[in-house]
A = this chain, B = another copy of it.
Amino acid sequence: MSDKHQQKMAKLKENVDASIAAADTERGVMIVLTGNGKGKSSSAFGMVMRSLGYGYKVGVVQFIKGEQLSGEELYVREKCPEVTFYQMGTGFTWDTQDRSGDIAAAERTWAVAAQLLADPSVHLVVLDELTYMLSFKYLDQQMVLDALANRPAEQSVVVTGRGGGSELLALADTVSELKEVKHAYNSGIKARRGVDF
Which residues of the other chain, B, contact A61 by a CB distance below 8 angstroms? none
A residues within 8 Å of B by Cβ?
A: 1-2, 5-6, 8-9, 12-13, 16, 19-20, 22-29, 31, 33-35, 37-54, 56, 70-76, 78-79, 94-100, 123-124, 136, 156, 158, 169, 172-185, 187-197
A35 to B1, CA, bound (A): 28
Structural contact, B98 and A71, CB atoms closer than 8 A: no
Structural contact, B47 and A48, CB atoms closer than 8 A: no
Copies of this chain, tallied across the complex: 2
A185 to B33, CA, bound (A): 16
Would you give 27 A-B contacts (Cβ < 8 Å), ordered by A?
A6-B97, A12-B94, A25-B188, A25-B189, A26-B190, A31-B184, A37-B178, A39-B46, A39-B176, A42-B42, A42-B46, A42-B49, A46-B46, A48-B49, A49-B71, A50-B71, A50-B72, A53-B72, A53-B76, A54-B71, A54-B194, A158-B195, A172-B182, A173-B184, A175-B181, A176-B178, A177-B179
Structural contact, A50 and B195, CB atoms closer than 8 A: yes
Which residues of the other chain, B, contact A96 by a CB distance below 8 angstroms? 9
A169 to B, closest residue via Cβ: B181
A50 to B, closest residue via Cβ: B71
Structural contact, A187 and B173, CB atoms closer than 8 A: yes
Which listed residue (B23, B34, B98, B182) contacts A188, Cβ 8 A? Answer: B23
Which residues of the other chain, B, contact A70 by a CB distance below 8 angstroms? 50, 53
A2 to B, closest residue via Cβ: B99
Which residues of the other chain, B, contact A48 by a CB distance below 8 angstroms? 46, 49
Would you give the shortest CB distance from A183 to chain B, in whole angstroms? 5
